[in-house]
Structure 1
Amino acid sequence: MDIQCEVKERSDMPVMSVRTRCPVAELKPTIGQNYARIATYLAGLGKQPTYAPFVVYYNMDMNDLDVEVGFPAEAGLPGEGEIQANTLPSGKALSAMYTGSYEKMAEAYAVIDHWAKEHNLKYTGVVYEFYHNDPAVTPPEQLITEIVFPLAD
Protein backbone atom coordinates (compact mmCIF):
# COMPACT_ATOMS: atom_id res chain seq x y z
CA MET A 1 0.00 0.00 0.00
CA ASP A 2 1.57 3.27 -1.16
CA ILE A 3 0.74 6.05 1.29
CA GLN A 4 2.72 9.26 1.47
CA CYS A 5 2.94 10.64 5.01
CA GLU A 6 4.13 14.10 5.96
CA VAL A 7 4.03 16.44 8.91
CA LYS A 8 2.31 19.72 8.09
CA GLU A 9 1.41 22.90 9.91
CA ARG A 10 -2.35 23.29 9.51
CA SER A 11 -4.19 26.60 9.67
CA ASP A 12 -7.50 27.12 11.44
CA MET A 13 -10.30 25.86 9.20
CA PRO A 14 -13.79 27.34 9.62
CA VAL A 15 -16.49 24.71 9.15
CA MET A 16 -20.23 24.11 9.33
CA SER A 17 -20.81 20.83 11.10
CA VAL A 18 -22.96 18.57 13.23
CA ARG A 19 -21.45 16.71 16.17
CA THR A 20 -23.22 13.49 17.05
CA ARG A 21 -22.77 9.98 18.41
CA CYS A 22 -23.58 6.66 16.77
CA PRO A 23 -22.41 3.05 16.61
CA VAL A 24 -20.16 2.19 13.66
CA ALA A 25 -23.04 0.23 12.06
CA GLU A 26 -24.96 3.53 11.71
CA LEU A 27 -21.98 5.64 10.61
CA LYS A 28 -22.63 5.65 6.86
CA PRO A 29 -26.27 6.83 7.09
CA THR A 30 -25.36 9.29 9.86
CA ILE A 31 -22.68 10.85 7.67
CA GLY A 32 -24.93 10.92 4.59
CA GLN A 33 -27.90 12.47 6.36
CA ASN A 34 -25.80 15.17 7.99
CA TYR A 35 -23.94 16.03 4.77
CA ALA A 36 -27.31 16.47 3.06
CA ARG A 37 -28.63 18.68 5.88
CA ILE A 38 -25.53 20.87 5.93
CA ALA A 39 -25.30 21.15 2.13
CA THR A 40 -28.97 22.21 2.00
CA TYR A 41 -28.38 24.75 4.76
CA LEU A 42 -25.29 26.20 3.03
CA ALA A 43 -27.17 26.41 -0.27
CA GLY A 44 -29.97 28.27 1.51
CA LEU A 45 -27.37 30.82 2.62
CA GLY A 46 -26.11 31.06 -0.96
CA LYS A 47 -22.77 29.52 0.10
CA GLN A 48 -20.61 26.62 -1.06
CA PRO A 49 -18.12 24.45 0.86
CA THR A 50 -14.54 25.74 0.64
CA TYR A 51 -12.84 22.32 0.76
CA ALA A 52 -13.60 18.60 0.87
CA PRO A 53 -16.26 17.22 3.25
CA PHE A 54 -14.92 15.73 6.44
CA VAL A 55 -15.58 13.59 9.48
CA VAL A 56 -13.72 14.15 12.75
CA TYR A 57 -13.43 11.13 15.01
CA TYR A 58 -13.08 12.15 18.66
CA ASN A 59 -12.91 8.55 19.86
CA MET A 60 -12.66 5.06 18.41
CA ASP A 61 -15.38 3.36 20.48
CA MET A 62 -17.11 1.39 17.73
CA ASN A 63 -20.28 1.10 19.84
CA ASP A 64 -20.47 4.84 20.58
CA LEU A 65 -18.48 6.91 18.07
CA ASP A 66 -18.22 10.63 18.83
CA VAL A 67 -18.05 12.27 15.40
CA GLU A 68 -18.28 15.69 13.81
CA VAL A 69 -19.58 15.68 10.23
CA GLY A 70 -19.34 18.71 8.00
CA PHE A 71 -17.93 20.95 5.32
CA PRO A 72 -15.26 23.61 5.48
CA ALA A 73 -17.02 26.91 4.87
CA GLU A 74 -16.59 30.65 4.91
CA ALA A 75 -15.89 32.05 8.39
CA GLY A 76 -18.63 33.91 10.19
CA LEU A 77 -21.65 32.01 8.89
CA PRO A 78 -24.49 31.55 11.38
CA GLY A 79 -25.42 28.14 12.69
CA GLU A 80 -28.94 26.79 13.00
CA GLY A 81 -30.07 24.05 15.37
CA GLU A 82 -27.61 21.17 15.33
CA ILE A 83 -25.71 22.70 12.39
CA GLN A 84 -23.04 24.85 13.98
CA ALA A 85 -20.21 27.10 12.87
CA ASN A 86 -17.00 25.64 14.27
CA THR A 87 -13.26 25.71 13.62
CA LEU A 88 -10.89 22.81 13.09
CA PRO A 89 -7.85 24.14 14.97
CA SER A 90 -4.43 24.92 13.61
CA GLY A 91 -1.33 23.02 14.62
CA LYS A 92 1.11 20.35 13.54
CA ALA A 93 -0.47 17.26 12.06
CA LEU A 94 0.53 14.06 10.35
CA SER A 95 -1.22 14.04 6.98
CA ALA A 96 -1.51 11.08 4.62
CA MET A 97 -3.30 10.63 1.30
CA TYR A 98 -4.97 7.26 0.85
CA THR A 99 -6.44 5.99 -2.43
CA GLY A 100 -8.77 3.03 -2.18
CA SER A 101 -12.00 1.73 -0.72
CA TYR A 102 -13.27 2.81 2.66
CA GLU A 103 -13.44 -0.87 3.62
CA LYS A 104 -9.63 -1.10 3.46
CA MET A 105 -8.89 2.06 5.44
CA ALA A 106 -7.83 0.04 8.48
CA GLU A 107 -4.79 -1.04 6.44
CA ALA A 108 -4.02 2.61 5.65
CA TYR A 109 -4.27 3.51 9.34
CA ALA A 110 -1.80 0.73 10.18
CA VAL A 111 0.72 2.06 7.62
CA ILE A 112 0.32 5.61 8.94
CA ASP A 113 0.67 4.46 12.56
CA HIS A 114 3.86 2.56 11.69
CA TRP A 115 5.30 5.68 9.99
CA ALA A 116 4.39 7.82 13.02
CA LYS A 117 6.10 5.41 15.41
CA GLU A 118 9.24 5.40 13.25
CA HIS A 119 9.29 9.21 13.53
CA ASN A 120 8.42 9.32 17.25
CA LEU A 121 5.19 11.24 16.69
CA LYS A 122 2.41 11.35 19.29
CA TYR A 123 -1.24 11.89 18.38
CA THR A 124 -3.80 13.97 20.25
CA GLY A 125 -6.37 11.17 19.90
CA VAL A 126 -8.47 13.00 17.30
CA VAL A 127 -8.51 11.98 13.61
CA TYR A 128 -9.84 13.92 10.60
CA GLU A 129 -10.80 12.33 7.29
CA PHE A 130 -11.36 14.58 4.27
CA TYR A 131 -13.10 12.91 1.32
CA HIS A 132 -11.85 14.23 -2.01
CA ASN A 133 -14.34 12.48 -4.28
CA ASP A 134 -17.88 11.15 -4.17
CA PRO A 135 -18.37 7.41 -3.46
CA ALA A 136 -21.72 7.56 -5.30
CA VAL A 137 -19.92 8.17 -8.61
CA THR A 138 -16.29 7.10 -7.98
CA PRO A 139 -15.19 3.45 -8.10
CA PRO A 140 -14.07 2.30 -4.62
CA GLU A 141 -10.46 1.74 -5.70
CA GLN A 142 -10.25 5.39 -6.86
CA LEU A 143 -11.61 7.05 -3.71
CA ILE A 144 -9.17 9.59 -2.27
CA THR A 145 -9.17 10.25 1.47
CA GLU A 146 -6.86 12.61 3.31
CA ILE A 147 -6.28 11.23 6.81
CA VAL A 148 -5.02 13.77 9.35
CA PHE A 149 -3.77 13.11 12.87
CA PRO A 150 -3.26 16.30 14.90
CA LEU A 151 0.00 15.92 16.83
CA ALA A 152 0.53 16.41 20.56
CA ASP A 153 3.15 18.97 21.57
Structure 2
Amino acid sequence: MAFDRITLPPQSYLYVPRESAMTPEAMSEAIGSGFAEVFGFCGTRGITPLSAPICVYFDMTDPIRFHAGVVVAEGDAVKAADPVQAGVLPTEAVAGVHVGPYSSLGQTHQQLWDYARGEGLEVGMPVWEVYLDDPGEVAEEALRTEIFRAVG
Protein backbone atom coordinates (compact mmCIF):
# COMPACT_ATOMS: atom_id res chain seq x y z
CA MET A 1 0.00 0.00 0.00
CA ALA A 2 1.32 3.45 -0.91
CA PHE A 3 1.26 6.33 1.53
CA ASP A 4 2.33 9.94 1.04
CA ARG A 5 2.77 13.10 3.03
CA ILE A 6 0.47 15.70 1.52
CA THR A 7 -0.57 19.32 1.92
CA LEU A 8 -4.28 19.89 1.42
CA PRO A 9 -6.12 23.14 0.86
CA PRO A 10 -8.27 24.23 3.82
CA GLN A 11 -11.47 22.18 3.76
CA SER A 12 -14.56 23.16 5.70
CA TYR A 13 -16.98 20.45 6.69
CA LEU A 14 -20.38 20.09 8.29
CA TYR A 15 -20.85 17.34 10.85
CA VAL A 16 -22.74 15.93 13.75
CA PRO A 17 -20.76 14.66 16.73
CA ARG A 18 -21.12 11.00 17.56
CA GLU A 19 -19.86 8.58 20.20
CA SER A 20 -20.05 4.84 19.83
CA ALA A 21 -18.84 1.56 21.23
CA MET A 22 -16.10 0.19 18.98
CA THR A 23 -18.17 -2.70 17.69
CA PRO A 24 -19.05 -2.95 13.99
CA GLU A 25 -22.77 -2.84 14.73
CA ALA A 26 -22.64 0.19 17.03
CA MET A 27 -20.28 2.13 14.77
CA SER A 28 -22.34 1.35 11.68
CA GLU A 29 -25.48 2.63 13.38
CA ALA A 30 -23.82 5.80 14.71
CA ILE A 31 -22.10 6.58 11.40
CA GLY A 32 -25.22 5.88 9.35
CA SER A 33 -27.46 8.06 11.52
CA GLY A 34 -24.85 10.82 11.44
CA PHE A 35 -24.61 10.78 7.66
CA ALA A 36 -28.40 10.79 7.34
CA GLU A 37 -28.63 13.80 9.63
CA VAL A 38 -25.89 15.80 7.87
CA PHE A 39 -27.01 15.01 4.32
CA GLY A 40 -30.61 15.74 5.30
CA PHE A 41 -29.51 19.11 6.70
CA CYS A 42 -27.60 19.88 3.49
CA GLY A 43 -30.66 18.99 1.42
CA THR A 44 -33.01 21.24 3.35
CA ARG A 45 -30.55 24.16 3.28
CA GLY A 46 -29.59 23.86 -0.41
CA ILE A 47 -25.98 22.98 0.44
CA THR A 48 -24.06 20.94 -2.14
CA PRO A 49 -21.63 18.43 -0.59
CA LEU A 50 -18.11 18.63 -2.05
CA SER A 51 -16.99 15.18 -0.92
CA ALA A 52 -18.12 11.69 -0.23
CA PRO A 53 -19.16 11.09 3.41
CA ILE A 54 -16.37 11.51 5.96
CA CYS A 55 -15.70 10.54 9.57
CA VAL A 56 -13.20 12.52 11.61
CA TYR A 57 -11.86 10.65 14.66
CA PHE A 58 -10.35 12.36 17.69
CA ASP A 59 -9.28 9.31 19.66
CA MET A 60 -9.15 5.58 19.14
CA THR A 61 -10.49 4.53 22.51
CA ASP A 62 -13.72 2.77 23.40
CA PRO A 63 -16.14 4.51 23.27
CA ILE A 64 -14.88 6.29 20.17
CA ARG A 65 -15.68 9.97 19.52
CA PHE A 66 -16.01 11.22 15.97
CA HIS A 67 -17.69 13.61 13.58
CA ALA A 68 -19.88 12.18 10.80
CA GLY A 69 -20.05 14.69 8.00
CA VAL A 70 -19.21 16.00 4.56
CA VAL A 71 -16.89 18.62 3.07
CA VAL A 72 -18.71 21.78 1.94
CA ALA A 73 -17.80 25.20 0.57
CA GLU A 74 -16.54 27.63 3.21
CA GLY A 75 -19.57 29.83 2.56
CA ASP A 76 -21.88 26.91 3.29
CA ALA A 77 -20.09 25.98 6.51
CA VAL A 78 -21.37 29.18 8.13
CA LYS A 79 -24.91 27.84 7.66
CA ALA A 80 -24.36 25.24 10.39
CA ALA A 81 -27.21 25.11 12.90
CA ASP A 82 -27.57 22.89 15.97
CA PRO A 83 -27.10 19.95 15.97
CA VAL A 84 -25.06 20.29 12.75
CA GLN A 85 -21.73 21.99 13.39
CA ALA A 86 -18.86 23.23 11.22
CA GLY A 87 -15.16 22.44 11.32
CA VAL A 88 -12.02 22.65 9.22
CA LEU A 89 -9.81 19.67 8.39
CA PRO A 90 -6.04 19.84 8.94
CA THR A 91 -3.97 20.77 5.91
CA GLU A 92 -0.86 18.65 6.67
CA ALA A 93 -1.38 14.89 6.64
CA VAL A 94 -0.16 11.48 5.62
CA ALA A 95 -2.62 9.68 3.41
CA GLY A 96 -3.40 6.46 1.60
CA VAL A 97 -6.28 4.50 0.15
CA HIS A 98 -7.64 1.38 1.84
CA VAL A 99 -9.29 -1.16 -0.45
CA GLY A 100 -11.44 -3.79 1.21
CA PRO A 101 -13.95 -4.23 4.00
CA TYR A 102 -14.36 -1.65 6.72
CA SER A 103 -13.51 -4.39 9.24
CA SER A 104 -9.87 -4.32 8.07
CA LEU A 105 -9.44 -0.52 8.17
CA GLY A 106 -7.55 -0.86 11.45
CA GLN A 107 -4.74 -2.72 9.69
CA THR A 108 -4.38 0.06 7.12
CA HIS A 109 -4.39 2.67 9.87
CA GLN A 110 -1.53 0.81 11.55
CA GLN A 111 0.41 0.69 8.26
CA LEU A 112 -0.13 4.43 7.81
CA TRP A 113 1.11 5.04 11.37
CA ASP A 114 4.18 2.86 10.71
CA TYR A 115 4.88 4.73 7.46
CA ALA A 116 4.72 8.10 9.21
CA ARG A 117 7.04 6.96 12.01
CA GLY A 118 9.45 5.52 9.44
CA GLU A 119 9.53 8.91 7.73
CA GLY A 120 10.25 10.62 11.06
CA LEU A 121 6.93 12.48 11.01
CA GLU A 122 5.17 13.66 14.14
CA VAL A 123 1.64 12.35 13.76
CA GLY A 124 -1.36 13.41 15.76
CA MET A 125 -5.09 13.58 15.73
CA PRO A 126 -7.47 13.81 14.08
CA VAL A 127 -7.60 10.87 11.74
CA TRP A 128 -10.23 11.03 9.04
CA GLU A 129 -11.71 8.69 6.48
CA VAL A 130 -13.48 9.48 3.22
CA TYR A 131 -15.81 6.68 2.11
CA LEU A 132 -15.53 6.73 -1.68
CA ASP A 133 -17.90 3.86 -2.41
CA ASP A 134 -21.42 3.00 -1.32
CA PRO A 135 -21.34 -0.38 0.46
CA GLY A 136 -24.85 -1.02 -0.88
CA GLU A 137 -23.52 -0.84 -4.44
CA VAL A 138 -19.89 -2.02 -4.25
CA ALA A 139 -18.68 -5.43 -3.11
CA GLU A 140 -17.08 -5.37 0.33
CA GLU A 141 -13.65 -6.45 -0.97
CA ALA A 142 -13.65 -3.54 -3.48
CA LEU A 143 -14.70 -0.71 -1.14
CA ARG A 144 -12.29 2.25 -1.27
CA THR A 145 -11.68 4.46 1.74
CA GLU A 146 -9.22 7.36 1.78
CA ILE A 147 -7.41 7.56 5.12
CA PHE A 148 -5.69 10.66 6.48
CA ARG A 149 -3.72 11.33 9.68
CA ALA A 150 -2.71 14.82 10.75
CA VAL A 151 1.01 15.52 10.94
CA GLY A 152 2.75 18.41 12.66
Structures share fold, TM-score greater than 0.5: yes
2:135 counterpart residue number: 135
Unmatched tracts of structure 2, length 5 or more: none
SS class of match (2:75): coil
- TM-score of the superposition, structure 1-length normalised? 0.90
Find the aligned partners of 1:150 and 1:47 in 2 and give their Cα distance. Answer: 27
Whether the aligned pair in 1 keeps the contact of 2:14 and 2:71 (CA below 8 Å) is yes
2:85 counterpart residue number: 84
Find the aligned partners of 1:10 and 1:102 in 2 and give their Cα distance. Answer: 24
How far apart are 1:85 and its partner, in Å? Answer: 2.3
- Superposed CA deviations along residues 93-138 of structure 1, whole A, max 9, x for unmatched, are 1011111111111221222222222211121132111111111111
Is structure 2 residue 70 aligned with structure 1 residue 66? Answer: no
The number of aligned residues is 148
- TM-score of the superposition, structure 2-length normalised? 0.91
SS class of match (1:51): coil
Find the aligned partners of 2:10 and 2:90 in 1 and give their Cα distance. Answer: 5
Whether the aligned pair in 2 keeps the contact of 1:76 and 1:85 (CA below 8 Å) is no
Amino acid at match of 1:16: L
Name segments (4+ residues, structure 1) moved above 2 Å: none
1:41 counterpart residue number: 41
Find the aligned partners of 1:115 and 1:85 in 2 and give their Cα distance. Answer: 30
Residue 11 (structure 2) aligned to one of 10, 13, 26 = 13
Percent identity between the aligned chains?
22
Amino acid at match of 1:142: A
